[in-house]
Chains A and B, each alone.
Chain A
């Protein structure tokens, strides 16, 4: 049986654009059919924005690559109509063990508090994520949505103009020219779009090499994340074991500096390393092996006129904390509703700079967090290692040291602090729902809150009066009226009210809080809508 990454999912087909005498103009062209590009295209198409995705390949990504998808990514995927497939296929995990030398020092549980529609994390091969998104594209096409994927369409040249972008695209049947009002570059860390436009991508390069291997094996280890510091089978280095669907296990072994990647990649060198880790009595088969070093860097800004960068093309982090694909999906989430407002003339073009402003803040947070993890996992000085080892030794005996152990701080959505789109906080409420934060989910009887906040501005009231809708400058916020009585577990109260008796929230289409007060006050919320749409 062929692996799904060996089957063309969007094989090349000739487009009428290739036979047009003049360049055809599209509303949006997305470069790259990875998770981020597909998410952008689906989001826009769901809002009726005509979108063409160009990819130089015709298959989902080879090998597993990203494997940890966060709760926020699943919430975004829900809004895109693909979340349920991911959760059904994915491996749920919420526990982990930390080993130091030859002993387990402690174990942990993620998000012990209940009351979320999606799990804290799932493990899923990136190719399943892409496959689910491609299937969603096909569903949208069947419903007549304006979305198209063109395989084996490689962008060779880009011309930028004030109000559009021109592209030269290479195909198996020769080149053609095409245009777009907007270009979204989701073409990865080595982004050809970024290179063709001569844009910077600065940051820090780390020298440690890592061996990453996906192995197929029948093993009855529990579904947990296991992380080793300085284990006997990889002395002085680190190791990670994580389960994926289909009995595929992700193994990540730090190899240190000054190694020969070509040699280390060879199966005859990889197998003994894995054998030392897994023991002699486990049968395994290599699915995918790669040797990597990593960088933490980002573009100075993610918008350059009519070209917007999202995902790895705009920012790159170390793998610790699952902050790559997850942050890319949040880029898509942040961008699409803004682009829709600009395309509809309901927000000024400059409004899109807020995409860069907010997602640069998120990228910096991700880079900072993953750099701290990197320092803990691969200490850069003798004293750094001594302190790291002291933390690990203490963590075996004393609970206080466990929060200091850093084998990756798992991705959480960035709360945009001081965003120009947020209004000043006017509720004495919980920190988790302050303006700029992503709304945490909450139970509502048999249902959940977040699916009710999907894709439009929402005026969420909890035990507060308000009109059914509020329209300001062509943007309508629709009321969702709730009461603390709707959630007997009291999570809604805990996450959205705290000690306040009532609250009114303005929630953006990407489920981030734009404004909140203890009661609805019309002028304040009109102003909040203007701010959240770049008009104040």
Chain B
């Protein structure tokens, strides 16, 4: 089992961030929220591991675990 990675891990951080923002270009708020939700679910499925996802939920809440 892998631990949740909270150190830099993106191959191309600037490139990914630009793609993420660009994916929302021209979308209204609802469609943007829906895109984020779909992306979240796709990534969560890719990770799969319950413990990692649980740690990610805690990390996203910005509360000390």
B-binding residues in A (CB < 8 A)? 386-387, 389-391, 393-394, 398, 400-401, 404
Task: Report whether A393 and B34 are in contact in the complex, using a CB–CB cutoff of 8 Å.
Answer: yes
5 more A-B contacts (CB under 8 A) besides A389-B34, A390-B37, A398-B42?
Answer: A387-B41, A390-B40, A394-B42, A401-B41, A404-B41
- In Å, the complex CA distance between A401 and B37 comes to 12
Residues in B22-52 with C-beta less than 8 Å from chain A: 33-34, 37-38, 40-42, 45
| 13 pairs, CB–CB < 8 Å, chain A vs chain B | A386-B34, A387-B41, A389-B34, A390-B37, A390-B38, A390-B40, A393-B34, A393-B38, A394-B38, A394-B41, A394-B42, A401-B41, A401-B45
Chain B contact-residue range equals under 10
Q: Which residues of B contact A390 (CB under 8 A)?
A: 34, 37-38, 40-41
Interface of A is mostly: helix
Closest to A400 in B: B45
User: For the complex, what is the distance from the CA of A386 to the CA of B38, rounded to whole Å?
Assistant: 9
Chain B interface mostly: helix
A400: chain B residues within 8 A (beta carbon): 42, 45
Cα separation A404 to B42 with both chains bound (whole Å): 12
Q: In the complex the two chains form, what is the Cα distance from A401 to B34 in whole Å?
A: 15
Give the docked Cα–Cα distance between A63 and B43 (Å). Answer: 47
Residues of chain A contacted by B42 (CB below 8 angstroms): 394, 398, 400
A382 CB to nearest B CB, Å: 9
A401–B45 CA distance with the chains assembled, in angstroms: 8
Compute how far the CA of A393 lies from the CA of B38 in the bound complex, rounded to whole angstroms. 8
**By CB atoms of chain A within 10 A, which of B34, B38, B40 has the most?**
B38
Complex CA gap A390/B38 in Å reads 5
Contacting pair B41 A391 (CB below 8 A):
yes
Inter-chain contact A387/B37, CB cutoff 8 Å: yes
Closest to A403 in B: B45
Q: What separation, in Å, do the CA atoms of A390 and B44 have in the docked complex?
A: 13
